[in-house]
Amino acid sequence: MNSTMPPTVSQPMVSIRNVRKKFGDLEVLKNVSIEVPKSQVFGFIGPSGAGKSTIVRTVNALEGIDGGEIWVGGVSVHGPSTDLNRLRANIGFVSQSFNLYPHLKVLENVALAPIKVKRQPPSQAREYAASILKTLGLEDKMDAFPTRLSGGQQQRVAIARALAMEPRLMIFDEPTSALDPELIKEVLDAIRGLLATGITMLLVTHEMNFAREICDSIVFMAEGEILETGAPEQFFSHPQTQRARDFLSAILNR
C-alpha cells in the first residue's frame, strides 16, 4: 500500500449519544447510545412500545430529544443552527403507512422532492424517478394514482420516493407491518436490492429472518433501553438477556 495515502478517518454515519426522550412523564428513551458505521445495516427489534420508532425518528428530527446528541454524517441533528431541511434531504424515511401523496401520480410522487427541494430541472428529475421506479418493477405504474396500487406497490413507490433524493442514509420504520403477508416479500426484495449500493440503513422490523439475513448488527430494545447489540448470528442464536429470549421465543412461535 502507498504509505503517502492520507489516513482514512472512519467517521460513523450515525452517532447517537446518551439520548433521552420523554413524552410527558413517560420516559421513552433512557440514555440510548449507538454508533452506525457507514454502509452498515442496523436492525432495531424489540417489543411494541420499546421506543424503536422514537429512536429512529429522532435521527431525522421528526422527534425532538430531551438530552444527549445525535450526529449524522458529521452534522449535529439537534444542534441549534442545523439546517434541518438540508439534512433531511440526505436521509430517506419510509414508514409503516406509506403516506404517498394521493393527489399526485406515482411519477410525480417520486419527482416532487428532487424538483422542489433539490431544485432539479423537472425533466431530469422525472427521468431519474422513472429509472428508479423501473428498478423496483413499477415502470407500468408511473401514471397511476397511488390509491390504485396494492400495499406492496405503494410501499415500493415510497421507497423509490426516498431513493430519488439520493440519500446517504435510509430509515425504515416497520416497512412491511401494514402489508398482507403475500405482499411482504416484494418490499423486502426492494430493500435487499439496496444492499449492493452500500447505503447505510436503519431498519425497524418484526421480520426476524430478514433482519438476520441483511443486518450487520442487531439492536434489541425494550422499555426505552438498549438491552443488547451484536451480530445477528450471535443475537439470534445466543441472546444474552432473558428479555430477548422471551421476545424471540414469543415471536418465533407465533
Ligand X SMILES: Nc1ncnc2c1ncn2[C@@H]1O[C@H](COP(=O)(O)OP(=O)(O)O)[C@@H](O)[C@H]1O
CB of 73 to ligand X, least distance (A): 23
- For 169-189, b/e burial (b = at least 16 CB within 10 A) is bbbbbbbbeebeeebbebbbe
Minimum CB separation from other proteins for residue 4, in Å? 39
Decide if 61 contacts 88 (C-beta within 8 A): yes
DSSP H or E segment with residue 115: helix 106-116
138 binding partner (options Mg ion, ligand X, other proteins, none; Cβ < 5 to 8 Å by kind): none
Closest CB to ligand X among 46 and 152?
A: 46
Binding footprint of Mg ion on the chain (CB under 5 A): 53
Q: How far is CA 30 from CA 6, 36, 150, 222, in A?
A: 39, 19, 38, 10
Q: Which does 28 bind (CB under 5 to 8 A by kind): ligand X, Mg ion, other proteins, none?
A: ligand X
Bridge partners of residue 36, in order along the sequence: 14
- Nearest distance from residue 183's CB to Mg ion, in Å? 19
Q: Looking at 60-199, which runs of residues are DSSP E strands? A: 67-72, 75-76, 91-94, 169-173
For residues 33 and 17, is the Cβ–Cβ distance under 8 A?
A: yes
Amino acid identity, residue 182?
Answer: E
Termini Cα distance of the chain: 52
Contact residues: other proteins, CB under 8 A: 60, 62, 85-91, 93, 95, 97, 99-103, 112-113, 116-118, 145, 158, 161-162, 165
Could you tell which of ligand X, other proteins, Mg ion, none binds residue 110, using a CB distance below 5 to 8 A set by kind? none
Nearer to ligand X, 14 or 107 (CB): 14
From ligand X, Mg ion, other proteins, none, interface partner of 51 (C-beta below 5 to 8 A by class): ligand X
Q: How far is the CB of 22 from ligand X (least distance, A)?
A: 9
Query: Is the distance from CB of 153 to CB of 110 less than 8 angstroms?
Result: no
- Selection from ligand X, Mg ion, other proteins, none that 145 binds (CB < 5 to 8 A by kind) is other proteins
Question: What residues contact residue 198 under an 8 Å CB cut-off, 6+ apart?
Answer: 38, 39
CB 177 → Mg ion: shortest distance, Å? 8
Among residues 40 and 58, whose Cβ is nearest to ligand X? 58
Please tell me the distance from the alpha carbon of residue 198 to that of residue 196, in angstroms, as a whole number.
5
Binding-site partner at residue 23 among other proteins, Mg ion, ligand X, none, CB < 5 to 8 Å by type: ligand X
Give the interface with ligand X as residue ranges (CB under 6 A).
23, 28, 46, 48-54
Angle, nearest 10°, between helix axes 106-116 and 151-163? 20
In whole angstroms, how close is the CB of 46 to ligand X at the nearest point? 6
Select 53 or 109, whichever has its Cβ closest to Mg ion: 53
CB of 132 to Mg ion, least distance (A): 26
